[in-house]
Structure formats: C-alpha cells, structure tokens
Amino acid sequence: MSAASTKGYREVTFGAVALGVIQGAVMTAAFVYIGLKLGFGLPGSTVAAIMGFALLRGVGRKAFGIEGAGSIVENNINQTIASGINTASAGVVFTFPALYLLGLGDEINFPIVILSAVAGSFMGIVVIIPLRKQMIEIERLKFPSGIAVATILKSPGAGMKKSVLLAAGFAVSLAITLATKFEIVPETLEIGEGLRSLTGGSDTGAAGVLFAGTALSLSMANFGAGLLSGKGGLAFAVGGILAWWVIAPFVAAQGWVPEGAAGADLKWAIYGANLRPVGIGVLIGGALMGVVLSYPALKGAISSLRAAAKLAKSGDASNDELPPSVLGFGLVGAFVALFAVAIIGSNGAIAMAVSVAVAGTVWLGLAGLIVAQATGATDISPLSGLALIAVTLMLALTANNIMLAVTIGVAVCVATNQCADMMSDLKTGHLVGSVPKRQQLVQFMVAWVGPAIAVGTVWLLWQAGPDGANGFGPESLACRNETADCLPAPQAGALQGMVQGVVSGEAPLDKYLAGSAIGIGLALFPIAGLGVLIGLAMYLPFEITLGYGIGCVASMVLEKVKGRRYYADVLVPVAAGFIVGEALTSLSLTLIKLATGS
Amino acid sequence: MRYAGFGLFVIGLTVASWYAAYVPEGIGAERIGNWFSAVGIQFLAGWVTMIVGVVVARAAAKKDTPADEAANANSADTAGEAIEQMRLIARRIDDIAGRDLAPADVAQAPRKLADELDHLLTEEIPVFLDARPLLIDRFGLETFAELIGHFAVMERAAARAWSAITDEAWDEVPPSLTKAQAAVHRSLDVLDAAAPSAAA
C-alpha cells in the first residue's frame, strides 16, 4: 500500500492540457484527410483516453516519477481537450470543401471562414451549458460513447472481472471488425435478399423493398450502443420498423418510385427521395416541440445554475457549473460573429446580415439540441442532415448566396459536432467525478485550435493538386486516374449536389414540412425524445437501426433475467469493449491503408 | 382508454407517414402546393388522428389513481417509494461521510470504501433514478430539476471519491464525501419544501 498522497488531486495539469492539444491537433489534420478520402469522421475520445493512460499514467509515473500522474480525472481532461479540438474536423470536412467543388475556391475569404468555424466551436460549448443539466441530470440520457470512455478511464479500479469483460468485448469487436474489413464476412447481412432468394420473391414493389430494405449491420459498436441504451433506445428501433416495414412498402406499392426500380436500387431510391427528407423534417419538428415541452425543465436547469452560483458566492458550496451569464454572453458573441460573417459575405446588406445572424444563432441552438438528444439516446449524430438544413435555410435567406450560406453552414456543422462531443465528454465526467466547469473551461480555451487546423488542412490538400489546385474531389487528377491518392470528398460532394438542387428549386420542402408536423405530434406523446428518435431512424438505413434495436432488446431481456446489477457489472464493460474495439480497429486499418497507399 | 389512445396514435402516425413520403412534381412553393393537392387531405386525416390519440393517451395517463400506483407496488414504483429510496441514499452518504475519515484512514482500507461507493452509485442510485417520471408527476418539472441538480452534485462527488481512491489520492476523498453529504441534504431540503407531508 503506498503512503497517503499529500499532493492535490491532479486534474487540470500542464501534462493533460499539452497532451490533449497535441493529440487533438494531430487527429484533426489526420481526420480531415480521412474525411476527404472516405467520407466519415472518427471519434477522438477513445483514442485520446487510451493514449492518456499510456503517456500520462504509464510514462508520467514510471519514467518521470510524477506522483499521482495520469489520474482518472486528469486523463478525462486530456480526452476532453483532444476530442474537443478534433470535432472541428468533421464539421469542416462536411461543408467547407464544397466551396472548392462548386468552383468558388478563388473567392474564399479564409479569415471569415475560420471566424465562422470558431464561432460555431464556441457556440457548441455554450449551448451545452443548460442542455447538460437537462439531458445528463434530468433526462439521464445514456450517451453510450461517454459511458464507454468512462469505463476505460475507471478500469484501473474496476476490478479484474470488469477489466477482463472489457478486454473480451474489445477482442470480439476487433475480430468481427477485421473480418468485415477483409471481407471474410460481409459488413451488412442482407437478410431480406437472402429470404427473397430462398422464397423466389419479387424484387419490385412492396415485397421488393421489404426484402431489399431488411438488412443487419455487423457493427459491434452499433450493437454495443444498443446494449447500453436498453429500453430507452427502443423507440429508435421501432422507428426503423416504421420506416422500412410500413412506409417504404406503401411507397413502393403506390408506385411513387422511379419506373423499373428493383432490389437495392429501389431501396436506395426510396431512402433518398422519400424516407430521409421526411426523417429530417421529423427531427426538426420533434426538436422544436421538445423545446416547448421541456421549457419548465430548461427554466429549472437555468434556475439551478443561478442557485449554484449564488451558493458559491455565499461560500456555502463550491460552484461546479458555469453560470448562466456565460450562456448569455456566448449567445450574444455567436450572434455578433455570425453577423460579422454575414455583413462581409453580403457586401454590407444589413437587413440580410441580421436575419442570417438571428436564424443562424437560433438554428445553431436547435441543431445542438437535436444532436445532443440523438447522440444521448443512440450515439448517432444526424450531422449531415442538420448541415443540409442549415445551408438550405441560409440559401433562402441570402437569395442563393452560396458562399455565405456554406460559410454559415460551416459554423452550424462545427457547433453541432462540438455539442455532441462535449455532451459525451460531460457524461464521462459525470461518471468519473470530474468538475463540469473545468471540462467546459478547458474546452473554451482550445476551441479555436481545431477550426484553424481543419480549414488550413483542407486548403493545403486543395493546393496539393498538380496545378496548385484540384487536390481533391471527383474531378481531381488523382480521382480521374483512380490512383491511391484520390480524395473524393464524398460528403462535400453531397452538399454540392444539394446546393445545386436548392438553387434550382428542387429542395424537398414538402417533405421537411410534413415531417415537421409528424415530429410535433410525436413529441407530444408521453415518451421523452420520441420525435428525435423516430426522425433519426427514418434518416438512417435499416441495417443500422436493426442492429441497435437487437442490442436494446438483448439488454432489456438480460437485465430482466439477471437483475439490475448485471447491467453495471457485465453489460457496461462488454458493450464498452465493443465500441472501443471497433473504433480503434477501424482507425488503425484506415491509417495503415493510407500509409501503404493500398 | 390508454390503449385506445395508443391505437389511434399508431394508426394516425402510419397514415400521416405514408402520405408524407409522397413525391410531387414541381419545384419550390409549387411543389408544396402539388403535394397538398395530391395527398394533403389523407395526410391531415392521419395527423389529426395521431394528435387525438396523443390527447387520449395523455388524459388516460393523468387519470392513474394512487390506488393504481399502489397496486403496482414494487421497488420504487410509487412516488412515495422513490422518496424513501432517496432518504435511504442520504442515510448511506451520512453513514460514510459521518465516519470523519482522515486521508490516512482511507489509505488503510480503500477497497472497502470504494466498494461501498460503487454499490451506492451502481445499485441504489439507479433505483431512485428509474422513478423520475413519478417524481416529475408529483412535484412538477421545475421543482424536480432543482432537486435533481443537487442530487447530481452528490453523485459526482461520490464518483470523485471513488476515482480518488483508485488513484490513491487519499486527500481528495474526505472533502468529496463531505460535498456529497451537503449536496444530498440540499436535495432533501428541496423535497421537504415541496411536499411537507413527505418529510420523514
């Protein structure tokens, strides 16, 4: 037994901040590249937490002899900073490159784009201030990744059994992820298509989409998220059934599909034209009504923040929370920054700039709420859909000023991702005993780093083209020649397509409106967050919701049969292992692939 | 009544979703008009049915009597039992914090203390938290928000004590336990002010 520690409990230390910044900066640049190459982002918290163990705890204690180095709460600060910086990568990669693809590269005002992204980064942290109390303390949303990271951080004290279960979950997930990536087993089990082959069923019409749409993703992270969510996530799975077994067959049966569409083509046609846009509308309506209904709780959350600040002032308690005044300053600051972006982007049109700043700030808040609720329940963030709505709205307000609309879209996307990440980190902090104010303050300190690096990396990669331009995109030389250094920028390409569609009047506004009305109705039903969960399920292919739903049901059955203790003792470490295993394996394989050019 | 409301809700949601998915001709505002002309009535019929179902389901939920609650008596299945669970948690914290442990005392038997805290955090607190809807019904969302705010401070402080034990940061443990104790009692104060009849 070591002697009693006489030093303070290490939390916000130079080591934690420095390691977090270095990891965050490296991950941001790397994940921008990965995003342009593969079209998806990767979470940084898991990587950062494990590196924190190795460096802060391992090297700090053993090599440098720093007593108490790498404490649980210190490592939490490290991963908070690292992931907070890295969130800019996805937000920027989904939006900013679209300006290049739309041929507007020479007109980009870089300081304004970076200002927009930084404003979004700060706004994402600010919006969380009341939402943290609402979602983590009152609604008790799970935030599966937050639980997974907390499980890693707590593993030194969790006991051998939980560590073994965490490792076992990791091993299973590693094996399955490797098997899918090397195509030993498919990534998605086409259950419906298998049944269709056995029964000789049709590949067109209602039967066709039922068969084609019914598939199961073998993502262990997805299954693990369902295990952690249990009963609370079941509505998401039910939403998937509604989308793919009720709506899609009806759409096909009515003939509201392209002529001759069959099998997978039929599935993706219905997904793109019918389900996804309605799902986005449901998300918006569900979130809007959710804000109205939870107003008393939000009011209570803000009163609670004021009360905590008052108690701290009178010396009766220390204040763990940022005061509500920070929220006020942050909202004003975001409005001013967005106004500055808009006034420059609109060449001094004050009325337009005011409307853009107001709408942008309001949408930032609403999108933050949607994504916090979605990730809280399911670990899935509808980031691209929300960015799409932001740009659509801005195009409408700016009379199709694409440059300005996408620049504001950068702010929204960065803010939304920051919200999701910060909430997950605060959930982790809640579980390990971190002080939320410290996590939020360190995040404020570094909020500008990620946007600057992400925008700079995109610019560098564009300049890396043969003529100092066209370094990425489907029309780049590397992509036309199909060489290994092709960076197709798929997400930005999708935004490019959407912008061109909106400018030519093809935005599915009817879907958004009808979906919003449904979302409002869903939110009125006495199950919290139902609108957002059902909307999210419509927004995604069934293979994802089905895998998650199986996890939810498994969790419910096991807890019922084995008792409540089983959830904490077995399900949490195993599910955490699943999530961490897939994240690290995917990341490692991606980096190996990029390094070897294969 | 509740099942009737739920049934109407599901039927209405299905019909509204079907017709929301219709893709009309046209662009911009013309597209919205075309959509409404083609399927607007059917969509509205579904949507109104859905709303009626919600209203019926919510009314039925509000009508649940205390007798109904008691008939389902199980661990924290009533608001009274949830309150009692909260008082039990407070007594546990009082017991742990009341030992007035010095850092050296913690260092003597850290695992025992860590196990007690772990039991509190993973077994006893979740029982109380599962009964949140009952407490929200009883006290209202705003009062509940205030109560749970202090309760959450207690949870974080207890978790911090556990983490400090794991990290062998013995100095951190006693103040964290004191903070947890103060916070849970502030939570009880809110409870007692809101419902004097629930006072122990």
Residue B83 and residue B57 share a domain: no
CB contact B81 to A (< 8 Å): no
CB contact B32 to A (< 8 Å): yes
Structure tokens at A360: 């942008």
Q: Which residue has the higher pLDDT, A317 or B139?
A: B139
Q: Check if the beta carbon of residue B180 is closer than 8 Å to that of residue B92.
A: no
**pLDDT (0 to 100) of residue B200:** 44
**pLDDT (0 to 100) of residue B168:** 92
B positions 142-171 inside 8 Å of A (CB): 142-146, 148-149, 151-153, 155-171
Q: Which of B142, B153, B159 sits opposite A432 (nearest CB)?
A: B159
Residues 6+ apart with CB under 8 A from A263: A193, A203, A208, A211, A212
CA distance B133 to B117: 25
Residue B189 and residue B90 share a domain: yes
Q: Which of A4, A273, A317 sits opposite B23 (nearest CB)?
A: A273
CB contact A125 to B (< 8 Å): no
B positions 86-125 inside 8 Å of A (CB): 103-104, 106-107, 114, 122-123
φ, ψ of residue A132 in degrees (nearest 5) = -60, -50
Number of other residues whose CB lies within 10 A of the CB of residue A249: 19
Between the alpha carbon of residue A76 and those of residues A137, A166, A225, A389, A433, the distances in Å are 19, 18, 21, 33, 10
CB contact B49 to A (< 8 Å): no
φ, ψ of residue B101 in degrees (nearest 5) = -75, 135
Q: Check if the beta carbon of residue B16 is closer than 8 Å to that of residue B47.
A: yes
Q: Is the reported ipTM for this assembly greater than 0.85? A: no
Residue B100 and residue B136 share a domain: yes
**pLDDT (0 to 100) of residue A484:** 66
Rounded to a whole number, what is the distance in Å from the CA of A128 to chain B's nearest CA? 15
Rounded to a whole number, what is the distance in Å from the CA of B113 to chain A's nearest CA? 12
Residue B38 and residue B79 share a domain: no
Q: Which helix (H) or strand (E) holds A571?
A: none
Q: Check if the beta carbon of residue A422 is closer than 8 Å to that of residue A440.
A: yes
pLDDT digits (tens, 9 = 90+) for A74-124: 999 999 999 999 988 888 998 999 999 999 999 999 999 999 999 999 989
B26 inside domain:
yes
Query: In this structure, what DSSP letter does residue B198 have?
Result: G
- DSSP, collapsed to helix, strand or coil, labels residue A188 as strand
**pLDDT (0 to 100) of residue A111:** 93
Residue B57 and residue B89 share a domain: no
**Helix extents (H) in A133-204:** 144-154, 160-181, 191-199
Of B17, B32, B62, the domain-final residue? B62
- Name residues of chain A where pLDDT drops below 50: 1-6
B35, B64, B146, B168, best to mutate vs chain A, most A CBs in 10 Å = B168
Residue B36 and residue B133 share a domain: no
pLDDT digits (tens, 9 = 90+) for A207-217: 999 999 999 98
Cα nearest neighbour of B183 on chain A: A317
Residues 6+ apart with CB under 8 A from A150: A427, A428, A431, A432
pLDDT at residue B199 greater than cutoff 60: no
Structure tokens at A122: 């700060």
Cross-chain Cβ contact B145/A6 below 8 Å: no
Of A125, A564, A435, nearest to B152 by C-alpha is: A435
Of B140, B150, B141, B152, nearest to B187 by C-alpha is: B150
pLDDT digits (tens, 9 = 90+) for B160-186: 999 999 999 999 999 999 999 999 999
Q: Check if the beta carbon of residue A61 is closer than 8 Å to that of residue B168.
A: no
Rounded to a whole number, what is the distance in Å from the CA of B77 to chain A's nearest CA? 15
CB contact B14 to A (< 8 Å): yes
Q: Which domain holds residue B168?
A: 72-198
pTM exceeding 0.90 = no
Q: What percent of chain B has pLDDT over 90?
A: 56
A positions 292-331 inside 8 Å of B (CB): 294, 296-297, 299-301, 303-304, 307-308, 317-318, 320
Between the alpha carbon of residue A509 and those of residues A30, A198, B165, the distances in Å are 36, 40, 56
Cross-chain Cβ contact A256/B145 below 8 Å: no
Q: Check if the beta carbon of residue A289 is closer than 8 Å to that of residue B135.
A: no
CA distance A553 to A530: 17
CB pairs under 8 A between A and B: 215
**pLDDT (0 to 100) of residue A301:** 65
Place of tokens 């957002």: A532
A1, A2, A5, best to mutate vs chain B, most B CBs in 10 Å = A5
Residues 6+ apart with CB under 8 A from A326: A126, A129
Cross-chain Cβ contact B156/A154 below 8 Å: no
**pLDDT (0 to 100) of residue A402:** 93
**pLDDT (0 to 100) of residue A489:** 86
What size, in residues, is chain B? Answer: 200
Chain B partners within 8 Å of A527 (Cβ): none
A6, A7, A9, best to mutate vs chain B, most B CBs in 10 Å = A9
Residue B124 and residue B58 share a domain: no
- What type of residue is A41? G
Q: Which residue has the higher pLDDT, A41 or B143?
A: B143
Cross-chain Cβ contact B17/A256 below 8 Å: no
Rounded to a whole number, what is the distance in Å from the CA of A476 to chain B's nearest CA? 32
pLDDT digits (tens, 9 = 90+) for B40-84: 999 999 999 999 999 998 888 777 644 444 444 444 567 888 888
Cα nearest neighbour of A514 on chain B: B20
Residue B147 and residue B80 share a domain: yes
Q: Check if the beta carbon of residue A304 is closer than 8 Å to that of residue A574.
A: no
Residue B106 and residue B8 share a domain: no
B67 inside domain:
no
Q: Which of B24, B114, B159 sits opposite A433 (nearest CB)?
A: B159
Residue B181 and residue B122 share a domain: yes
Residue B100 and residue B13 share a domain: no
Residue B142 and residue B43 share a domain: no
Between the alpha carbon of residue A579 and those of residues A167, A175, A545, A552, the distances in Å are 11, 13, 16, 15
**pLDDT (0 to 100) of residue B82:** 87
Q: How many domains does chain B have?
A: 2
CB contact A107 to B (< 8 Å): no
φ, ψ of residue A217 in degrees (nearest 5) = -75, 135
